[in-house]
Structure 1
Amino acid sequence: MIPIHDNPGPRRSVPWMTWGLILANVLVFFYELSLGDAVQGFITVYGVVPAAISRGVPQTNLTPDPVYITLFTSMFMHGGWMHLIGNMLFLFIFGDNVEDRMGHIGYLIFYLLAGLVAGLTQVFVAPDSLVPSIGASGAIAGVLAAYLVLFPWSGVRTIVFIFIYFTIVTVPAVLLIGLWFLLQLFDGVAGLAHTQQGMGGVAYFAHIGGFVFGLLITMLLKNRLQPPAPITYPPFARHPNAQGPIRWY
């Protein structure tokens, strides 16, 4: 299922931070493309290598010191066009309203911490792996979890593929994101043997770690966040006897 549009209600502010994060990821990806064959070395230097993190020793002489900095640099790197487009699509659709509720700075801190926890979760699962992990998926998983808590019944227009056919349906966020998480959990457990052997593939446990972090933090802070923006009639649609804004329920 591929989300293409959501309808959680109006925002109070322009999602500058979400757009800025998308721009940063795109710019880093284009820099990766400019490196040509040297991109693998770039990934090894700035990606999260579990063995290097667990031992606290940089993987190469060029790796940032302390090596834990790679837990942040890896969040802005991607392994291909589909990896980048998929992540940025989810961030674009679900990030703006989460940012609106958390505030720009709070949202950025939340995003980075979710990515940090995601990286550490992958290290915990495979502490001796020499395979570098990259991508914004762990941080975005935290954003998805926050959206699930804050806008569970928001309608999400989604492309659903059925074999060679596809259709577009509107499903509640709780169903779409819930199924996404269950898929990560299932695939993560199914591929655990490969992960522990240090083989490449999708870092499912990073997704799981970021999601669980986002879920717990948002549930704890939900009552302290900004309330949803009220929905009002446009001026031409107001009842002639109505005074001021009117909320729709």
Structure 2
Amino acid sequence: MRRTPWVTYALIAANIVVFLLTPGMAGSVTGGSSLAQLCHLQAFLDHYAAVPQELIHHQMPRLVPTGDTGVGPQGAGCVVGPPSYAKSPELSVLTAMFLHGSWLHLLGNMLFLWIFGNNIEDRMGHIRFLLFYVVCGYAAAYVFALANSSSGSPLIGASGAIAGVLGAYLVLYPRARVWVLVPFLIFLPLRLPAWIVLGLWFGLQAVYSSGQGVSAAGTVAYLAHVVGFVAGMLLAWPLRPGTPPPPEPRGLLFGRRARPGW
């Protein structure tokens, strides 16, 4: 690897810091959150997350969670009121890329970015990689919003942008052999070509996005993963000529080494 992947490191650090500063996330470690924490979290997400109906119709709801708690006819709950802030739906796509709903959501995304991001940043360069990451995230969010234009549920996570990184890796390094843990009675470490590993991942996301094979497809934006992956492939395609040989593998769970000494 010729370049130190400063953008990859910065993105990982930023995602972790934002997660730690997100209201109510402390409860995701201990397994429980108070009503007040949940109300603060809901208000925070409505402010900074991307909401499909806001992206498509460019219209804020008249009532949003305020972050306060109260008691109504149905019992204790979160208070709603007119929004006290001016929200830009377009900018919310960017802020939503740094929000995650749980430690598992965060660490899963950061693991993929850590493993695959450095080679793509090395091939593209720092600035182009950052622009590529953002464009993939925006493409994933807007196509998902178009398909769910009436949804008022917050859309959060870096999954769409990171799926773009995986798509670019498949285009640029399809023959790179990577270690994976395959469950077969026990977890067996196998060294497989990237086109098999990432191809299977993409296939599963495509199946899940159709609602097949999962009981709660609506809780994960699988369509955003599919769109981000395809966007990454298309954007990386012009870089295929002149791309150096695939990286050498290192470690388990998609571990590999781009060049000796990395």
Give the TM-score category using the shorter length: 0.7 to 0.9
- Mapping for residues 1-249 of structure 1, pairs under 5 Å: 11-32=1-22, 33=25, 36-37=37-38, 38-59=40-61, 60=64, 61-62=83-84, 64-162=86-184, 165-190=186-211, 200-223=218-241, 227-228=243-244
The gaps in structure 2 that reach 5 residues or longer are 27-35, 65-82, 248-262
- Considering Cα pairs closer than 8 Å and 6+ residues apart, tell me whether 1 or 2 has the greater RCO: 1
SS for the counterpart of 2:91 is helix
Alpha-carbon distance in 2 for matches of 1:184, 1:15? 27
| 1:85-110: CA deviation from partner (whole Å, max 9, x where unpaired) | 11000000000000000000000000
Alpha-carbon separation, structure 1, partners of 2:210 and 2:86 = 32
Deviations 1:60-101 (A, max 9, x none): 525653221111110000010110111000000000000000
For the residues of structure 2 that align with 1:230 and 1:180, how far apart are their CA atoms? 19
Offset of residue 42 of structure 1: 1.0
Gap change, CA 1:161 and 1:69, over 3 Å in 2: same
In 2, distance between residues paired with 1:159 and 1:45? 39
The Cα of 1:222 is off from its aligned counterpart by 3.2
Residue 238 of structure 1 is matched in structure 2 by none
Question: Could you tell me how far apart the structure 1 residues matched to 2:42 and 2:136 are?
Answer: 25
- In the alignment, the residues of structure 1 paired with residue 246 and residue 224 of structure 2 have an alpha-carbon distance, to the nearest angstrom, of 35
Residues 145-154 or 50-59, more deviating: 50-59
Deviation at 1:17, TM superposition (A): 0.5
Counterpart residue number, 1:5: none
> 2 CA distance for matches of 1:31 and 1:49?
21
2:172 and 2:243 in contact (8 A); partners too: no
RMSD (CA atoms): 2.4
Query: Is the Cα contact below 8 Å between 1:153 and 1:174 reproduced in 2?
Result: yes
Per the TM alignment, residue 221 of structure 1 is displaced from its structure 2 partner at its CA by: 3.9
What number of residue pairs does the alignment pair up? 214
Closer/same/farther in 2, CA of residues 16 and 229 from structure 1, 3 Å limit: farther
Distance 1:71 1:205, change over 3 A: same
TM-score by length of structure 2 reads: 0.76
Judged with a 3 Å threshold, the aligned counterparts in structure 2 of structure 1 residues 187 and 89 are, in CA distance, closer, same or farther, namely same
What per-residue deviation string (whole Å, max 9, x for no partner) do you get for residues 103-152 of structure 1?
A: 00000000000000000011011100111110000000000000001111
Aligned 8 A contact 2:100 2:157 in 1: yes
Amino acid in structure 2 at the alignment position of 1:170: R
Q: Which has the higher strand share?
A: 2
Counterpart of 1:14 in structure 2: which amino acid?
T
Checking the alignment, whether the CA contact within 8 Å between 1:131 and 1:200 is kept in structure 2 is no
CA gap of 1:45–1:230, structure 2 versus 1, over 3 A, is: closer
Tell me how far 1:176 sits from its aligned partner: 0.5
Letter in 2 for 1:18: T
Structure 1 alignment gaps of length 5 or more: 1-10, 232-249
**Residue deviations 1:192-232 (CA, integer Å, cap 9, x gap):** xx99xxx8411011111111111111113434xx743899x
The AA in structure 1 aligned to 2:37 is G
Paired residues of 1:114 and 1:138 also in contact (CA < 8 A) = yes
CA distance in structure 1 between the aligned counterparts of 2:108 and 2:174, rounded to whole angstroms = 21
1:169-196 deviations in Å (ceiling 9; x for gaps): 11111000000000000010126xx99x
